[in-house]
Structure 1
């Protein structure tokens, strides 16, 4: 994923997809240059790690775009509590990152094939259109990028947008 600033004159669809792409690439940029130990280092009292943020956003992207909107099965349905924020010692870092990239690419294909006004029904019975899902994922990813900023600064002093 390349980190390309969004076109500030883009139409609605392009603005939403470009902002999401920018936020996704920002997350991955926060990981650049860190080794496995730092990516897995607990940085909060709850044990949150940078790799755990990637796992959470993988699960969230998959849930909104692929399960709720596209109707695919949910391989993460059995996760309980905050399990989606944790990566096991037996899980390969490169595979966790590849799964995020793959999930984002699959989500992008779903978005490209649908209209912003297309509606899906959530498991809790609420209707939601693709526009709302994109907006939610932009804010969700941006929010966690803020966490990643603070975690990365604590690890090695690297700061930046």
Structure 2
């Protein structure tokens, strides 16, 4: 029998290793949601807005973009809410990285938390096999949306890892104050 190593303690995705499909998908999406928030913890407003790449990508912008992506896939696509009825960017486009000068870290986190909670509530009403129309792909299932969100958030968590390390040297997926 193999004894699992528990030093360091197991994280949420590891604890879900033998869970059902839906729990595994939801656990990974929530894990990357948390990583996205953890990467901005403890930074100043100036550090959150530092542009270290030619694109609009900043740590604050990544958090803002993640909210837009949540709105696109869960509110607009899955719940079929028209974009004009969704508060905030629901495209996940380049403009979704723009952060207003008066938006604080607390504002961005509150927006993201509320958006993610709405995503969870919407998704809870559908089976993994439930499909919705998509203009390019024909139809997509909730299962596909979850996997796509894992890919999207994982990719941006990697961007955030690099930006955070460049800003203050912090590494890893847990909250690290500078």
The TM-score, its normalising length taken from structure 2, stands at 0.82
In structure 2, which of residues 114, 126, 131 is the aligned counterpart of residue 114 of structure 1? 126
Q: What is the aligned length?
A: 159
Aligned partners of 2:72 and 2:91 also within 8 Å = no
Tell me whether 1:31 sits opposite 2:40 in the alignment.
Answer: yes
Distance apart, 1:52 and its partner CA: 0.4
Q: Deviations over 1:51-79 (max 9, x none)?
A: 10011111111100111110123245697
Greater mean deviation of Cα atoms: 119-128 or 142-151 = 119-128
Aligned partners of 2:64 and 2:98 also within 8 Å = yes
CA distance in structure 1 between the partners assigned to 2:172 and 2:119 by the alignment: 27
CA distance in structure 2 between the partners assigned to 1:63 and 1:8 by the alignment: 29
In structure 2, which of residues 107, 112, 115 is the aligned counterpart of residue 103 of structure 1? 115
1:8 corresponds in structure 2 to 17
Q: Which stretches of structure 1, 4 residues or longer, exceed 3 Å deviation after superposition? A: 75-81
Structure number with larger C-alpha Rg: 2
CA distance in structure 2 between the partners assigned to 1:83 and 1:45 by the alignment: 15
Stretches of structure 1 lacking an aligned partner (at least 5 in a row) = none
Aligned partners of 2:66 and 2:92 also within 8 Å = no
Secondary structure at the aligned position of 2:132 is classed as strand
Stretches of structure 2 lacking an aligned partner (at least 5 in a row) = 1-10, 174-178
